[in-house]
C-alpha cells in the first residue's frame, strides 16, 4: 500500500511523528583538460560523440591510464574536507548495464577510497554551525548522456527514440558521501541546502571544478528516510537523483519528508528506490528500485594499478591549499565592516564570492554589494535560479557599475543593460552602443526637452517661479520620459530651475 504521489503530510506533523535521516552523495566533475582514463577532451557542449576514443568507448584492446591531475584534485578535496588520505587506494569495477555506459561497468572505488573519515562544518541561517560527517570521497568516471526524442518531458516515457552522446563518458568525477545526518528535525531541508552550498563554495575555492550545477558538473543525490520517534532503526530510504540547484536540494528533501510521512501514516511502506526531482513543481517521482552494493558485484579493476599517495607528496599538496571560504569570509567581513547578520544574509543568498570578484574587477565593494543583493537578487528570484547561476559575470557587473560611476549610464539605464546581458544580448558596452543608451550630455538637447515640458505645464512652471522648488520634480520626470531615461536627472533639475529663475 502506498499513498498517492500528491498525498503529502503536513510538515509539522511529520516532525511531530518522525525523525528524518539524510545522506548526501555529491558528484563533482573535475576541471581537468582530459578524461579520467584517456586523453579525450572534457569541454562542455561539444558536438555529440566528437570527444571520444577507443578507450572511453571501451573498444576491444583499449586500456585505461589514470589521469594524474584528477588524482591530485581528489587529494585536495579530501584534505579540504578534513579526510584521511589512503596511502594505497584501488580502483574497482562497478557492474551495471545502462546504454550510456559503454563498458557496461563503471570504473570507481569501493572499499579502498582515496579519502575517508572527514567532516565539513556548515553555517545555518541563524548562524549556528552544523557538522556533517564525511564517510568518503572517491574517484570514478562519469557516464554518457541519453537524449530521449519525441516526448514532452525529455524522459524516456513517451519518447519515440533515444540518442546517445558519449562525450561525457569517462569525465573525471569525485563522489563525496556523507555519513547519516541525524537529529536535524525540522531543519533537515535547511541543513541539506547549507551542506551543498558550503561544499560548492569549498570546491570552487580549490579550483578543482567549475561546480556548475546547471551544467551538471556538480550533482547532488539526496537520500532520505523517516524513523518513527519510538524506533531504534532507520526507515527505508529513497534516493532523489541529480538535483541540480541549491534551492532544489532543500525542496526535494522537504517534499520527500512529507511524501514518506503520508505513506507511512497511511499504513504503507516506503519503497527503496531512486526518484527524479521535478523542477516544474518541486515534487519527486518514482525511478527504479535501488540496488545494494552486492548487486553491483564490485571487484578490483585488473587494468589499473593501486594509487599510491606518498605522505610527503600529500603534505606538499596540503601546503598549496588556498584560503578556505569561511576563513576568507571572516577576513572580508572585517574589511567590509558589516555585521554578522548582514554577512550571514550575503552567505545565504550566495553573494559573497560574487561581490568579492566584482570588487576585484575594479569597483567598490559597497557598489558591488548593492547590485548583487538588490537588482540582481530580484532577477534571480524572478527567473527561478540561484544568484550564481545568473548568466552574467562579476566582470560584466563591474563594467556596468563603472559606466554608472563615469556618468555614462543612470541606474535605470544600467538596469536595462544588465537585463539585456542576462537575456543573452551580448557584452555591456555593445548593448549600450546598439541600444543608444548612453546618458544624453548635450545641454542644447536637454534644454529643448526642458522648455517643451515647461510649456506643456504652465501652472507648474509658475509654482517653480514662485519659489516652490519641489514642483520641479514633475518637469524632471517628463524630461526623463521624453529622453527615454537617458538624461542625467540632476542636470535636468539644474536646467529647470535656471529656466524658471528659481536658482
Q: What is the pLDDT of residues 314-357, one digit of tens each?
A: 999 999 999 888 888 888 888 888 888 888 888 878 898 899 99
What is the predicted pLDDT for the residue at 442?
A: 54
- What does the pLDDT look like over 395-424, one tens digit per residue? 999 999 998 888 788 888 889 899 999 999
- 172 pairs with which residues across the strands? 141
pLDDT at position 485 over 90: no
Helix-strand-coil percent breakdown of the chain, rounded to 5?
40, 20, 40
Cα separation, 73 vs 206, in Å, equals 8
Nearest Cα to Cα of residue 420 among 386, 441, 390, 394: 390
Task: Please report, rounded to a whole number, the percentage of residues in the chain having pLDDT higher than 90.
Answer: 58
What is the predicted pLDDT for the residue at 132?
A: 98
Task: Look at 24 and 286; give whichever has higher pLDDT.
Answer: 24
pLDDT at position 498 over 90: no
Q: Which of 4-8, 221-225, 250-254 has the lowest mean pLDDT?
A: 4-8
pLDDT interval class at 503 (50, 70, 90): low
pLDDT at position 385 over 80: yes
Cα separation, 162 vs 99, in Å, equals 10
pLDDT interval class at 1 (50, 70, 90): very low
Task: Look at 453 and 345; give whichever has higher pLDDT.
Answer: 345
- The chain-wide mean pLDDT, for the chain, equals 88
- 0.85 exceeded by pTM: no
| Four-residue CA torsion sign, 133, 137, 143, 145 | positive
CB atoms within 10 A of CB 100: 16
Asked whether 376 and 391 are in contact (CB, 8 A), the reply is: no
Amino acid at each position: 500500500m502506498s499513498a498517492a504521489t500528491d498525498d503529502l503530510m503536513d510538515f509539522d506533523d511529520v516532525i511531530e511523528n518522525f525523525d528524518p535521516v539524510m545522506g548526501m552523495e555529491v558528484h563533482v566533475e573535475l576541471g581537468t583538460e582530459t578524461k579520467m582514463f584517456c586523453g579525450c577532451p572534457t569541454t562542455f557542449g561539444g558536438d555529440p560523440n566528437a570527444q571520444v576514443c577507443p578507450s572511453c568507448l571501451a573498444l576491444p584492446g583499449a586500456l585505461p591510464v589514470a589521469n594524474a591531475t584528477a588524482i591530485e584534485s581528489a587529494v585536495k578535496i579530501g584534505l579540504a574536507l578534513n579526510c584521511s588520505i589512503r596511502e594505497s587506494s584501488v580502483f574497482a569495477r562497478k557492474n551495471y548495464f545502462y546504454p550510456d555506459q559503454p563498458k557496461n561497468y563503471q570504473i570507481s572505488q569501493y572499499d579502498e577510497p582515496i579519502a575517508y573519515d572527514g567532516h565539513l562544518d556548515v553555517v545555518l541561517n541563524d548562524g549556528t554551525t552544523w557538522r556533517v560527517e564525511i564517510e568518503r570521497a572517491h574517484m570514478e568516471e562519469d557516464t554518457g548522456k541519453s537524449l530521449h526524442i519525441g516526448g514532452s518531458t525529455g524522459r524516456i516515457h513517451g519518447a519515440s527514440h533515444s540518442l546517445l552522446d558519449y562525450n561525457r563518458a569517462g569525465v573525471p568525477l569525485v563522489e563525496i558521501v556523507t555519513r547519516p545526518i541525524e537529529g536535524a528535525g525540522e531543519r533537515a531541508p535547511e541543513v541539506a541546502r547549507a551542506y551543498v552550498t558550503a561544499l560548492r563554495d569549498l570546491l570552487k575555492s580549490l579550483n578543482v571544478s567549475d561546480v556548475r550545477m546547471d551544467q551538471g558538473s556538480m550533482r547532488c543525490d539526496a537520500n532520505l528516510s523517516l524513523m518513527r520517534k519510538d524506533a531504534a532503526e532507520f526507515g527505508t530510504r529513497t534516493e532523489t537523483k541529480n538535483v541540480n540547484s541549491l534551492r532544489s536540494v532543500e525542496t526535494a528533501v522537504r517534499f520527500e519528508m512529507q511524501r514518506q510521512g503520508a505513506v507511512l501514516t497511511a499504513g504503507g511502506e516506503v519503497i527503496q528506490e531512486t526518484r527524479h526531482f521535478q523542477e516544474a513543481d518541486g515534487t519527486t517521482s518514482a525511478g527504479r528500485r535501488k540496488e545494494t552494493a552486492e548487486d553491483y558485484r564490485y571487484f578490483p579493476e585488473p587494468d589499473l594499478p593501486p594509487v599510491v599517495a606518498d605522505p610527503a607528496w600529500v603534505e606538499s599538496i596540503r601546503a598549496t591549499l588556498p584560503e578556505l571560504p569561511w576563513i576568507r569570509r571572516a577576513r572580508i567581513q572585517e574589511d567590509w565592516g558589516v555585521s554578522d547578520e548582514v554577512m550571514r544574509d550575503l552567505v545565504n543568498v550566495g553573494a559573497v564570492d560574487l561581490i568579492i570578484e566584482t570588487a576585484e574587477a575594479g569597483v567598490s565593494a559597497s557598489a558591488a554589494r548593492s547590485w548583487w543583493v538588490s537588482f540582481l537578487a530580484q532577477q534571480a528570484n524572478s527567473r527561478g535560479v540561484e544568484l550564481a547561476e545568473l548568466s552574467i559575470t562579476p566582470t560584466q557587473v563591474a563594467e556596468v557599475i563603472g559606466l554608472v560611476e563615469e556618468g555614462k549610464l543612470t541606474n535605470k539605464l544600467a538596469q536595462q543593460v544588465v537585463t539585456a546581458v542576462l537575456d543573452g544580448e551580448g557584452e555591456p558596452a555593445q548593448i549600450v552602443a546598439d541600444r543608444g543608451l548612453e546618458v544624453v550630455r548635450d545641454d542644447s538637447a536637454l534644454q529643448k526637452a526642458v522648455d517643451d515640458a515647461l510649456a506643456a505645464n504652465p501652472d507648474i512652471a509658475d509654482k517653480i517661479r514662485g519659489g516652490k522648488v519641489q514642483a520641479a520634480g514633475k518637469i524632471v520626470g517628463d524630461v526623463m520620459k521624453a529622453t527615454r531615461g537617458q538624461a542625467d536627472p540632476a542636470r535636468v533639475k539644474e536646467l529647470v530651475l535656471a529656466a524658471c529663475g528659481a536658482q
